[in-house]
Structure 1
Amino acid sequence: MGNTALNFGAGPAKLPREVLEDVQSELLSFQKSGMSIMEMSHRSKEYSKINNDAQAAIRKLLNVPDNYRVLFMQGGGLGGFAAVALNLINRTGSADYIVTGTWSNVAAKEAAKYGKVNLVYPLADKPGSIPDQSSWTLNPDASYLYYCDNETVDGVEFPFIPNNPHNVPLVADMSSSIMTKAVDVSKFGVIFGGAQKNIGPAGVVFVIIREDLLGKPMDMCPTILNFTHINKSNSVHNTPATLSVYIMEKVLQWIIKNGGVEGMQKQSLEKSNLLYQTLANSNGYYSCPIDQNVRSRINIPFRVGGEKGNEELEAKFLEEAEKLKMYQLKGHRSVGGIRASLYNAISKQDVSLLIKFMEEFQRAHS
């Protein structure tokens, strides 16, 4: 493996090496200007081009319709949770939330500060599942219907776009699934997420919003989270995270060069199938607690040493993995266990090396 670490972290996540090398080559002098991009004005023609090129790349990759705007803001996913409610819940004062795990639960609690939140089904007794849609209770007067496309902590991914019989604006947090599969943007009112998993470093949030949903924020909505204001100023209403947007634009170009969303989706399925097959072939030594029909392709939690997991074995697993420069495999503090995050920059070879280690570990410790 040489000196290269294998980073299976949930975010900030691995970035494509060639992108990092490209950034390194011009970090001190952007396009031979003698200045770093970090030193340049956010209102310079250089940054303006980066900003516009990043928006154009997202439009190209996702076939974003003309009546949608692409925005960049700060505040991370948590800022996005508040921004969605502050910009959209004002229409009727209530919103429907599908809670499938940690982050959709946090988003629902955040939205409840600004309006009435209806959970479309009670919080599941059994985590790691999505109840059948026939059991959902949807409000025809909801300002929007919200869900998290992929739960990074819980390893639950929607294999479908939720039914939306009342045709209210559909809002999706796609922080960890963006650019890993084809998406019909026209079915959504808003798609948003942090860039730090599949498309860039931490510091920037992307927002794809249908134009008719602009112009209706709550009076209390801070300017920094106001989609209408951000749109009017082309995402440069204050000093943006210029370095993050610059790197994100390079990652988006890397995705285009490597087969686009279709190429990423094909590789995502291949990588996750390899790892899930390894779990299945372990005779219960490795176990995944997630219902098979909603298992994430992107964040794969598992236990070592049986269904409930053996914490001593899991600590040993992490210790030995780090000796092989395999990092950030520890499960989220709220659920424990092991978690491998297979974002776009993780290669099939990376996954194969992890699987080789898992098989050797099982032989040595079972």
Structure 2
Amino acid sequence: MKKLFLTPGPSELYFTVPDHIQTAMREGVASISHRSKDFEKIFKLAVDGVRTLLEVPENYHIVFTNSATEIWERLIQNCIADSSYHFVNGSFSQKFYDFSKMMGKNAHVMEVALGQGFDINNIEIPNEVEVIGITQNETSSGVAFPVEDIYQLRNQYPDKIIAIDAVSSVPYLNIDFQKIDSLYFSVQKGMGLPAGLGVWVFNEKLVEKVNELKAQKIPIGTYHTIPGLLKMAAKNQTPATPNVLGIYLLGKVCEDMNRRGIQVIRQETNYKAALLYNLFESNNLFEPFVKEKKHRSKTVAVGNLIGQSASEFLQKLGKYKMEVGKGYGGKKESQIRIANFPTHSKESIEMLVDLIEGGKLI
């Protein structure tokens, strides 16, 4: 029995990926030119697959970068002349805020403690803010930002760019793209792929903004600018040599997930999340870290450990060929983080719960 990774990223590969990698090697996918017709077909398959899976409107662009981390920088360079606003409740939302400050922007922040969500009714975003940065699913702490709150922000601030970090919530996240302007993710979490690819979805508001910056002679970066990405995407190509294998695998896995059906994936995710949070609430080895249910992530469940460290827990779990994530940063030994992505079957989560409830990991 091979080891099962219930880690929040990188995570378990989607179960079809090994076969797709073998096919790619036989067909020489990793060696083809990114200016070839074969690559253009690969690019289009991936874009079409993402569009179908996430229900992205036709008037939204889809482009590829090296990572979601890169997209933070590209967003700042291409869309912010002066000011940004960030909702910070964990390490990844903090990093986007830090990036904006490091790049000389006037970065505003609403920060709450780890494990907490936001009361958006008590928030006033300054007029000068151009981009609102939201981490929809904070991987470090297991806190989700409800889509209803995102929609409320859109109603309150219709002229501002709303940019969603969906790294650990795609493809589960069910969001109305017409109520946001940008969404981005990397593929090593919910998509179940090897790391090394970022996917950026955005609308014309970002294109208009980067044109404003260019007109003001504000530098927008060198490669992977929005104009450069769009120019090449129109030809189903990329500005620089991309992760061709990663784009190929993304297209294939999107096909697989679309055959399975996004509604089925979401229903199974809800079922598995209910098992995990019930475990945290009912078993004396844990307590749920996120107290308010509406802010609990369905895709990364975080529990406080009682009576043992994360290292001790993982050592016991490892005997059963399973691995979950430790807590993040300062919570490394006091918490565990359990991924709940499409590749994690109902049976695997049930097996984990049965092991714990059966007293095997005491």
Counterpart position of 1:154: 141
2:319 corresponds in structure 1 to 323
Q: Distance in 1 between matches of 2:205 and 2:121?
A: 30
Asked if the contact 1:155/1:295 (under 8 Å) is kept, the reply is yes
Which residue is 1:221 aligned to? 220
Alpha-carbon RMSD across the aligned residues, in angstroms, is 1.8
Paired residue type of 1:358: I
Structure 2: which amino acid aligns with 1:129?
A: Q
Conservation of the 8 A alpha-carbon contact between 2:68 and 2:199: no
- 2: CA distance, partners of 1:267 / 1:139: 40
Aligned to 2:115: 128
Q: Is the 8 A contact 1:85 1:114 kept in 2?
A: no
Structure 2, gaps ≥5 residues long: none
How many residues are paired up? 343
Post-superposition CA distance 1:61-102 (Å, at most 9, x none): 22222321101111x232121111111112xx1111111211
Q: Deviations over 1:184-219 (max 9, x none)?
A: 111111111111112232111101110231143564
Q: 1:295-310 to 2 correspondence within 5 Å?
A: 295-305=296-306, 310=308
Tell me the CA shift for residue 264 of structure 1: 1.6
Checking the alignment, whether the CA contact within 8 Å between 2:165 and 2:185 is kept in structure 1 is: yes
| Residue 105 (structure 1) aligns with | 94
Partner of 2:16: 18
Task: State the 4+ residue runs in structure 1 displaced beyond 4 angstroms.
Answer: none
Instruction: Give distance in 2, aligned partners of 1:140 and 1:329.
Output: 40
Which residue, out of 243, 248, 251, partners 1:249? 251
Q: Provide Cα deviations, 1:82-134, integer angstroms capped at 9, x if missing partner.
A: 111111112xx111111121111110110122411111x3x22x321113112
Q: Paired residue for 1:230?
A: 229
1:33 alignment counterpart: none
Q: Could you report, residue by residue, the CA deviation over 1:218-260 in whole angstroms, capped at 9, with x for unpaired residues?
A: 6433323312211111151110110111111111111101112
Give the unaligned 5+ runs of structure 1.
31-35
Q: Equivalents in 2 of 1:132, 1:211: separation in Å?
A: 29
Which shifted more, 60-69 or 93-102? Answer: 60-69
The residue that corresponds to 1:212 in the other structure is 205
Match of 1:78 in 2: 69
Match of 1:359 in 2: 357
2:182 corresponds, among 186, 190, 207, to: 190
The aligned counterpart of 1:264 is: 265
Whether the aligned pair in 2 keeps the contact of 1:100 and 1:129 (CA below 8 Å) is yes
Structure 2 CA distance for partners of 1:360 and 1:304, relative to 1, 3 Å: farther
Work out whether 1:203 is the aligned partner of 2:161. Answer: no
Q: 1:115 aligns with which of 101, 105, 116?
A: 105
Instruction: Tell me how far apart the structure 1 counterparts of residues 135 and 13 of structure 2 sit (CA, whole Å).
Output: 23
Separation of aligned partners in 1, 2:69 and 2:231: 23
User: What is the alpha-carbon distance in structure 2 between the residues aligned to residue 13 and residue 285 of structure 1?
Assistant: 24
Q: For 1:156 and 1:58, how far apart are their aligned partners in 2?
A: 25
Q: Residues of 2 paired with 1:335 and 1:317: CA distance?
A: 14
Hey, what does 2:34 align to over in structure 1?
42
* Structure 1 residue 328: Cα displacement: 4.0
- 1:89 aligned to 2:80? yes
CA–CA distance in structure 1, aligned partners of residues 337 and 3 of structure 2: 17
CA contact (8 A) 1:201 1:248 kept: no
- Correspondence for 1:294: 295
* 2:24 paired residue number: 27
Work out whether residues 139 and 300 of structure 2, in 8 Å CA contact, stay in contact via their aligned partners in 1: yes
CA distance in 1, matches of 2:348, 2:48: 30
Check whether the contact 2:24–2:245 (CA below 8 A) recurs between aligned residues: no
Distance (Å, rounded) in 1 between the aligned partners of 2:300 and 2:287: 14
In 2, the alpha carbon distance for the partners of 1:86 and 1:208 equals: 16
Counterpart CA distance in 2 for 1:299 and 1:103 is 14
Amino acid paired to 1:51: F
Alpha carbons 1:303, 1:310 under 8 Å: kept: no
User: Counterpart amino acid of 1:108?
Assistant: Y
CA distance in 2, matches of 1:310, 1:136: 39
What SS does the aligned partner of 2:195 have? coil
1:139 & 1:7 partners in 2: Cα distance? 43
Query: 2:53 maps to which residue?
Result: 61
User: TM-score, with normalisation over the residues of structure 1?
Assistant: 0.89
Could you tell me how far apart the structure 1 residues matched to 2:352 and 2:202 are? 38
Percent of aligned pairs with the same residue? 23
Q: Which amino acid aligns with 2:196?
A: G
